[in-house]
Amino acid sequence: MGRISFGDLDNYGSNGAYFQLKDNGNKANVRFLYNTIDDITPYVVHSIPDGTYPNGNPKTAYVNCLRNYDEPVDKCPFCKAGMTVQPKLMLKLYNEDAKECQIWERGKAYASRMANLASHFNPLVNEVIEITRCGAKGDNQTTYEFMPVGNSPANVEDFDCVEPLGFNILDKTADDMEAYLNLGAFPGDSANVSQQRNNNNQYNGNVVRRTPPTNSRAF
Ligand SMILES: [Zn+2]
């Protein structure tokens, strides 16, 4: 899959849609689309401003960092410019209730939770997991409980789920980043990113962007 612009996202239906449970007690049955923990790709991203939500809160877009932690900052213009990095998980799952592939954005605390799940269920994709939100809308102490509810064989390859890089995380070259730093926009964006994304109902202000507390209960 080649790189696309944000304006193109509307052409991809539900692909790249975010998984969300909006309020306390909301549940969904999902399959995580991985066989083992080794199949989960962690990302390191830079955040850039991307306009505002209707309530005035700032929106963010993520841009993939171009260097590994042990490489010189020169490899990534955003690092070189002093922009901070954040580790992110963009977990690919199939929402059995919504009948679509979705991406669940999580902080690094979920790496150990996913490792724990994957150590119990191998291949992980075979297990249907009920996820329950514990925490009211807007509660920054919200946690999520995992409850295995059934096992049925499935193949990761059978799910037509996009890779987050290029959809949920912008995949830019060093030259693109240099241009952004100089001009405030990426080359080839026909309008600014936020104008395009205001039309994109996948970014509706309800996306959970917090890292959960590290004392999240195990499933
Ligand atoms: Zn970087």
The answer to which of 41-45, 150-154, 194-198, 212-216 has the lowest mean pLDDT is 212-216
**Ligand 1 centre distance from Cα of residue 171 (Å):** 12
pLDDT tens digits, 128-160: 999 999 999 999 999 999 999 999 999 999 998
Q: What sign does the CA torsion over 97, 30, 165, 182 have?
A: positive
- Does residue 125 contact residue 35 with C-beta atoms inside 8 Å? yes
Tell me how far apart the alpha carbons of residues 54 and 95 are, in angstroms, rounded to a whole number: 28
Q: Model-level pTM greater than 0.85?
A: no
**Ligand 1 centre distance from Cα of residue 144 (Å):** 30
**Ligand 1 centre distance from Cα of residue 116 (Å):** 29
- Does residue 213 contact residue 144 with C-beta atoms inside 8 Å? no
**Ligand 1 centre distance from Cα of residue 91 (Å):** 21
**Ligand 1 centre distance from Cα of residue 66 (Å):** 5
**Ligand 1 centre distance from Cα of residue 216 (Å):** 29
List helix spans (H) across the chain: 77-80, 109-120, 174-183, 193-198
